[in-house]
Amino acid sequence: MVICAVATLKSRTGCSNGVSFHCFPANAENAKIWKNLCKRKDDFNLKTFRICLIHFEVDCFQRDLQNELLGLPLRHILLPFSIPLLMSNSIVDSNNRLEEEIKVDEIERDIDGYFVL
């Protein structure tokens, strides 16, 4: 099972329901930025941890033209040098949904069905 590296999630595995995970950048400088944004106290392995879709803004992704033209399920493809900026603490709304679930819903609405989650 993939685990989101962001420390502020109440359940690091809870955001895995239909959400894509993204590897840390190969560029050491960008990987260090991502690692610092995760706000973890432990020293984790950047090669085994991932950051999930909900921590990126909609404009961090490029269109999946290949799968779009072929009628295949669309992928979440990060643009080079994207930075995960949505790192707020988890909260629960009136329907007992975690903030991360709410953000996924907002992302789906913002991109007008462009991504299939």
The predicted structure's pLDDT at residue 15: 53
Q: Is the pLDDT reported for residue 83 higher than 50?
A: yes
Alpha carbon 106 to chain centroid distance?
13
If pLDDT is split at 50, 70 and 90, which confidence band does 98 have? very low
Burial of 67 (0-12, 13-18, 19+ CB in 10 A): middle
The predicted structure's pLDDT at residue 103: 54
Spatial distance between the Cα atoms of 110 and 40, rounded to a whole number of angstroms: 29
Spatial distance between the Cα atoms of 117 and 94, rounded to a whole number of angstroms: 23
Record the pTM: 0.66
